[in-house]
Homo-oligomer: A and B are copies of this chain.
Amino acid sequence: MRVATFTLIGSLKWAKLGFYDQQKHEYGEILLSEPQEIASCIGNISLKEGEPFVHAHAVLADENGNTKGGHLLGGAVFAAEIHLTELLGPDLVRKKDDVTGLSLWQP
């Protein structure tokens, strides 16, 4: 699979979220060491340096329903249900963008 989009719900044993600093062009990390519900997860798969690359954002909720959100950097799945839609057709390729410092899809 080279290009896809997905939504996902479930729960994680722990997670690490990221916040991209729009000035410094680097990610800050937010570690959530306790179990979390995946209240929302939206993402996609495209090509970066020739390999399939997953980009996902998530909103996670703890036992009191309190939420943290951001770029999903890592975590351990307890259970998850994904709806993955493969997109056939031309490849979607990421390339470093000088303005944002991010790897963005090429026009």
| Chain A binding surface, main DSSP class | strand
Known A39-B69, A67-B68; judge A22-B30 contact (CB<8 A).
no
Stoichiometry (number of copies):
3
Interface bits A14-54 vs B (CB < 8 Å: 1, else 0): 00011111100000101010010111111110000000000
Task: Give the shortest distance, in Å, between A18 (CB) and chain B (any CB).
Answer: 8
Q: Are A81 and B69 in contact (CB under 8 A)?
A: no
> Are A79's CB and B67's CB within 8 A?
no
Contact check, B70 vs A9: say whether CB atoms are below 8 A apart.
Answer: no
Instruction: Give Cα A11–Cα B78 distance, bound, in whole angstroms.
Output: 28
Give per-residue flags for A84-101: 1 if the beta carbon is below 8 A from chain B beta carbons, else 0: 010000000000010010
Hey, which bits of chain A sit against chain B, CB under 8 A? 5, 7-9, 11, 13, 17-22, 28, 30, 32, 35, 37-44, 55-71, 78-79, 81, 83, 85, 97, 100, 102, 104-105
